[in-house]
Amino acid sequence: QVQLVQSGTEVKKPGASVKVSCKTSGYTFSRYGISWVRQAPGHGLEWMGWISPYNGNRDYAQRFQGRVTMTTDTSTNTAYMEVKSLTFDDTAIYYCVRDALGGTVTFDFWGQGTLVSVSS
């Protein structure tokens, strides 16, 4: 069965960086993209960007350009997202989700979420 398993809770200070992992299984990793979505406490869902494990193509939301880096490791079927220069406003749950850009079914499988807490 398809699974996306994310790394654990992170507590960071303002100005630091965080790297979240998303290990996939149960499907051919290279055939589907991965989107990253975050949710601040008590708020809705915000798309951060997308990456293709097939060719490394990326598409970042404009507000995260220059501060977010998405990568994949096809040898371990794992996607990563690094966020730099953290501020208190980056406190949120971060989700990876399978996203077949251009496909009919998108956002069909989600990771369990990773809480990133930015605190001084």
Partner 1 sequence: DIQMTQSPSSLSASVGDRVTITCRASQTISRHLNWLQQKPGKAPNLLIYATSSLQSGVPSRFSGSGSETDFNFTISGLQPDDFATYYCQQSYKTPRTFGQGTRVEIK
Q: Is 2 in the site for partner 1 (CB under 8 A)?
A: no
Shortest separation between residue 5's beta carbon and partner 1, angstroms:
12
Shortest separation between residue 47's beta carbon and partner 1, angstroms:
4
CA distance linking residue 120 with residue 104, whole number of Å: 43
CA distance linking residue 87 with residue 40, whole number of Å: 12
Nearer to partner 1, 41 or 120 (CB): 41
Residues 51-90: x/- map of binding to partner 1 (CB under 8 A)? --------x-xx----------------------------
- Please compute Rg for the chain using Cα positions: 14
Contact 32, 23 (CB under 8 A): no
Q: Is 99 in the site for partner 1 (CB under 8 A)?
A: yes
> For the chain, what's the residue count?
120
